[in-house]
């Protein structure tokens, strides 16, 4: 990666932030787009499609539910780590 690309990749990106947030709060599982559901992660684009479908869910997650999402992913990581270490 060129120096310019490396520097630019460190800058905040609104679309990428929303796509990642969609994955954290597990929006793709109910997204109307089949590719989001099948791959269980937001497919992104200009404003992740899931964001436009349910903006309130994003707002509620940030305002009220982030502790619950954090706990879910901590448990997921621990479970994955235990499984990977067995193999
Ligand atoms: Zn989607």
Is 83's pLDDT higher than 90?
A: yes
Confidence at residue 66, expressed as pLDDT on a 0 to 100 scale: 94
- Please give, one letter per residue, the 3-state secondary structure of the chain: CCHHHHHHHCCCCHHHHHHHHHHHCCCHHHCCCHHHHHHCCCCCCCCCHHHHHCHHHHHHHHHHHHHHHHHHHHHHHHHHHHHHHHC
pLDDT in tens, 26-76: 999 988 889 999 999 999 877 678 888 888 999 999 999 999 999 999 999
Q: Give the Å distance between the CA of 57 and the centre of ligand 1.
A: 13
Q: Give the Å distance between the CA of 58 and the centre of ligand 1.
A: 13
Confidence at residue 9, expressed as pLDDT on a 0 to 100 scale: 87
Confidence at residue 78, expressed as pLDDT on a 0 to 100 scale: 96
pTM: 0.81
Measured between alpha carbons, how far is residue 28 from residues 15, 39, 61 in Å? Answer: 15, 8, 14
Q: Give the Å distance between the CA of 3 and the centre of ligand 1.
A: 33
Q: Give the Å distance between the CA of 5 and the centre of ligand 1.
A: 27
């Amino acid at each position: 990666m060129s120096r310019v690309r490396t520097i630019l990749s460190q800058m905040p990106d609104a679309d990428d932030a929303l796509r990642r947030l969609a994955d954290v709060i597990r929006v793709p599982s109910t997204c109307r787009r089949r590719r989001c559901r099948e791959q269980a992660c937001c497919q992104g684009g200009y404003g992740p499609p899931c964001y436009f479908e349910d903006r309130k869910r994003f707002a509620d997650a940030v305002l009220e539910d982030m502790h619950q999402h954090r706990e879910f992913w901590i448990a997921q990581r621990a479970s994955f780590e235990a499984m990977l270490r067995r193999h």
